[in-house]
Amino acid sequence: MTTLLTNARRLDADGEVDGSWVLLDGATIAAVGTGEPPAADEAFDLEGAWLTPGFVDLHAHGGGGHAYDDGPDSIRAALAVHRAHGTTRSVISLVAAPLDALETSLDGIADVVADDPTVLGAHLEGPFLAASRCGAHDPAYLRDPAVDDVRRLLDAARGTLRLVTIAPELPGALKAIQLLRAAGVTVAVGHTEADQERAMDAFDAGARVLTHAFNAMPGLHHRNPGPLGAAISDHLVTLELVLDGHHVHPAMAGLLFAAAPGRIALVTDAMAAAGVGDGAYRLGALDVVVRDGRATLGPDGPLAGSTLTQDAALRFAIGMDLTPIEAITALTATPARALGLHDRLGRIQPGFAADVVVLDRDWTVRHVWADGRRVS
């Protein structure tokens, strides 16, 4: 089955090309060009709309009223909501929980991965976090990253553990980072009190991501650069950013884009309220209140994830005067590279996954193809 998309304003990390066509063949992009398009089983005239790669979300906890912690049915329901907003590949984030509960969740995610190629695997955001920077993770479930516990979680995930966040100051953290790296897992630094030196040690040991930059860590101080200074100065590190106007001031977000060009990944960190609206929700075992799109633990507590979808993050980035190429790179090629998937995801090129998003000129999602199937 081939699908031809014509008259597109193609936009990806490599640039912007008007009057483009793209040929999808099953789950793969078969050809891309301008001028006379090839024949196909079906064809859509995009009438000059944007055509971008599908968005890759490294960090989310749910959406559409469903939390990823609640098992495969909830995961599938939440994914459908994010897909309609352009997210064609997702990492499933879990909050801190007892070890046996995490094992059950990882086992369920492995089942979802087995029949849904758009799910890239699991992210353990907890439990290896600093209690003083726990944010919306229940401090009762935090623990040090002991080798035996890391092995238990790796086994439960059956090869689908994709990302683990660790506070590098915890006892055993550097050993755990090496163990996870050896198992093919990407390691993130986050929910941490680490200073610059300790964070650099973690990156030297193989950590490659900073979990939601600025949030749940010391700030960027001129005499104490902290984990942000370490991440900015290491060109191998990708910095997650929750760009919703609540998590990080737009001026600091702009500073980060300027300081680490091509290394900012726009993540949602979305919880169940994403795509729904204000109200009362759960994040793991904790109660979350959402008011005016802002999710907090109780009415005045710390931020508890976001209600973002990635198309909203894109519009926010465009509104900050980033170029369309910079903004789309942060949603596609950069997160794909952070997971080592840069040869298959995040660009509109032959051989890449048939993940594309059609957006109106005002950056509203019109249609989405994920893994070659039209999902919206």
Please choose, from the candidates 100, 122, 105, the residue with its C-alpha nearest in 3D space to the C-alpha of residue 113: 122
The closest of 80, 7, 16 to 49, measured between CA atoms, is: 7
Q: Is 269 a catalytic residue?
A: yes
Distance CA 57, CA 86 (A): 10
How many CA atoms within 13 Å lie on the side-chain side of 200?
Answer: 10
Dihedral sign for Cα 298, 303, 308, 312, please.
positive
Of 307, 194, 203, 300, give the one whose Cα is nearest residue 246: 307
d(CA 317, CA 216): 22
Continuous segment of H or E residues that includes residue 109: helix 99-115
CA angle 368, 373, 374 (to 5 degrees): 40
Question: From the candidates 138, 201, 269, 371, which is the catalytic residue?
Answer: 269
CA-wise closest residue to 244 among 167, 303, 164, 199: 303
Q: Give the strand pairing for 66-67 and 365-370.
A: unpaired
β-pair partners for 17? 10
Q: Which residues pair with residue 165 across a beta bridge? A: 188
Cβ atoms within 10 Å of 299's Cβ, excluding its own: 7
Look at residues 215, 59, 211, 91 and name the one whose alpha carbon lies nearest to residue 161. 91
Q: State the DSSP code for 221.
A: B
What angle in degrees, to the nearest 10, is found between the helix axes of 196-204 and 226-233? 40
Q: What is the DSSP letter of 315?
A: H
Question: Within 10 Å of residue 42's Cβ, how many Cβ atoms?
Answer: 11
> What six digits make up the tokens of 104?
């059950």
Distance from C-alpha of 126 to C-alpha of 374, rounded to nearest angstrom? 34
Q: What amino acid is encoded at 199 in this protein? A: A
Catalytic residue positions, numbered: 269
